[in-house]
Amino acid sequence: MSGRLEGKVAVVTGAASGIGRGTVELFVREGAKVVGADLQDDKGARMAEELGDAFRYIRCDVTDEAQVKAAIDLAVSEFGKLDILFNNAGTGGALENIENVTGESFDSVMHLHVLAALYGIKHALPHMKANGGSIISTASIAGMQNGFGPILYSVAKAGIIHMTKLAAVQAAPFRVRVNCICPGLIATPIFGTSMGMARQVADTTVKAIAEASGSSQPIPRGGLPSDIAEAALYLGSDGSSFVTGQALAVEGGITLGPSGTAAASAFAPIAVAMGIDLEAIAAMTPETN
């Protein structure tokens, strides 16, 4: 199937790398006109050269409401309307625990994730009221349950999930759908930048992340930006016209709990206490190639 977004106009934030870039490229292949918003001007310029007339790049700090509005307005002025907004920009957040969070780090993480998505919804909705549309935000499995991210990042992503539900109800009378995607372990530079790596260095770690994360969830391969792009394509297309207020987890089953050797190791202390042979437990664990 192709042309699933034929005639549609989209804005994607965080568009120049990772999930954002993968989504822009897929949207264009499926027939959409796309405005990509980011702060990586060099990458944005190369995307404009590669994607041609179907793409426009705009420099955009999503923590600045005026710049978010400008990205949305550019889509309308260049392509005549707005059908899809993908609030995707974000980072891994500060690696803090609850004992050393600061007001400054709280404000930074919440502004970049929750407030930026709210700005997007606020300024996209007026353009969508007449003909309907789809608003999508990147949340995370870290916002669904414990153990998948730093505290501030996790709280912010939980905020996006709940905000999605609230906005979906308010937008529904205008046939505007509001959903979010909760990625699992997706191989992007976000892991490296969260550890303090420079962006160019973090970009080189993506392949290693994909290879290493394959054993972390029931589906035995690493998650890729294309997996999230396909979810965004579904939520942006008419195929999801009866779907709103949902948090779609795209995570290879990792939130289902441990599997394989990880599941066996979780019960190891109990098995030892009961005098059960650990090799017998391992023998019951299915092998994967």
Say which residues have a Cβ less than 8 Å from residue 54's Cβ, sequence separation at least 6: 28, 32, 33, 34
> Which contiguous run of DSSP H or E holds residue 267?
none
Q: Is 153 a catalytic residue?
A: yes
Q: What does DSSP assign to residue 119?
A: H
Evaluate whether 101 touches 151 at the Cβ level (below 8 Å). Answer: yes
Burial of 209 (0-12, 13-18, 19+ CB in 10 A): buried
CB atoms within 10 A of CB 130: 10
Specify whether 157 is catalytic.
Answer: yes
Residue tagged active-site, from 154, 157, 213, 237? 157
Cβ atoms of residues 81 and 134 within 8 Å: no
Question: Which 8-state DSSP code applies to residue 144?
Answer: T
| The residue type at 39 | L
Segments of the chain assigned E as strands: 9-13, 33-38, 55-59, 84-87, 133-138, 176-183, 247-250
Q: Is 180 helix (H, G, I), strand (E, B) or coil?
A: strand
Catalytic residue among 17, 140, 154, 240: 140
| Helix (H) / strand (E) containing 260 | helix 260-266
CA–CA dist 238, 242 (Å, integer): 9
Q: Active site residue: 43, 57, 153, 259, which one?
A: 153
Selection from 93, 84, 85 nearest residue 113 by Cα: 93
Whether 140 sits among the annotated catalytic residues: the reply is yes
User: What residues contact residue 14 under an 8 Å CB cut-off, 6+ apart?
Assistant: 20, 37, 38, 62, 88, 89, 90, 138
Tell me the catalytic residues.
140, 153, 157
